[in-house]
Amino acid sequence: MEAKGVEEEAREHTRRADVEAFVTKDGSVVRELMHPNVHGNSNTSVAECIVAPGQTTLLHKHHKSEEIYHITAGSGLMELGGPDNSWFRLVTLCALTLALSTE
């Protein structure tokens, strides 16, 4: 079995500590841990998003990709193409259109 090159190996995994966070227009802090433009995955990216207590994210829609959310702490409301739905710790869901706010 041939050894993988560094570039090929980097496309297969990401270390959180190696990914620089950025602040979005709504103030949430995001780290893109796995992105199609970098890692070669097709329709889904993996990102860490921190939404502060009392903060609301902007409603947005992805036309070519999906977002999968796994809530690890806190609680809030999510609009998922309709009325608000409650979400709680350790919930995983797939969203195409959404807005997040924390309570």
What are 2-55's pLDDT values in tens digits? Answer: 555 555 555 677 888 988 999 999 999 999 888 777 777 777 778 888 988 888
**pLDDT, greater one: 32 or 94:** 32
Q: Which domain holds residue 29?
A: 6-102
Residue 36 lies in a domain: yes
User: Rounded to two decimals, what is the model's pTM?
Assistant: 0.67
67 forms bridges with which residues in the sheet? 95
**pLDDT, greater one: 100 or 95:** 95
Where residue 35 sits, what CATH number does that domain have? Answer: 2.60.120.10
Residue 55 lies in a domain: yes
Residue 65 lies in a domain: yes
Residue 68 lies in a domain: yes
Residue 26 lies in a domain: yes
Residue 13 lies in a domain: yes
Question: In the chain, how many domains are there?
Answer: 1
Residue 1 lies in a domain: no
| DSSP code string of 39-60 | H--SSB-EEEEE--TT-BPPPE
Residue 86 lies in a domain: yes
